[in-house]
Amino acid sequence: MTCSEFLELLDEVLDNKLDAAVRADMEKHLYRCTNCEVVLNATKKTIEIYRCNEVYEMPDELRTKLHDRIMEKCKKTKIGEEAEAAE
Ligand SMILES: [Zn+2]
């Protein structure tokens, strides 16, 4: 699984829509990729904040920002590529 694949699945993770196999794949990616782990945690925190304000949808703008940030980091550190190569 690559970082972009992981990020595409992020919505479903937060909605608990994933089946066990996909979730296991994501956990494997998280184990190797700190960047995605950080993004996942940040996203969960953000969702909590929004829920407190009774807004359930994450704004597209925020999602794009998170996505850009993680992809930038992955490119810089090459962690994403290493994780992909290890699959
Ligand atoms: Zn990643």
Q: How many domains does the chain have?
A: 1
Per-residue pLDDT, 51? 67
Query: For 40-57, what is each residue's pLDDT tens digit?
Result: 888 888 777 766 666 556
Distance 10 CA to ligand 1 centre (A): 11
Ligand 1 being an ion, which residues bring their Cβ within 5 A of it? 3, 33, 36
CB distance 29 to 6 below 8 Å: yes
Per-residue pLDDT, 55? 56
**Which residue ranges of the chain lie beneath pLDDT 70?**
50-58, 77-87
What is the extent of the structural domain holding 13? Answer: 3-86
Burial 40-56 (b: 16+ CB within 10 A, else e): beebeebbeeeeeeeee
Instruction: For residue 57, give both structure tokens.
Output: 């949808």
Per-residue pLDDT, 84? 55
Per-residue pLDDT, 21? 92
Distance 12 CA to ligand 1 centre (A): 16
Q: Has this prediction a pTM greater than 0.85?
A: no
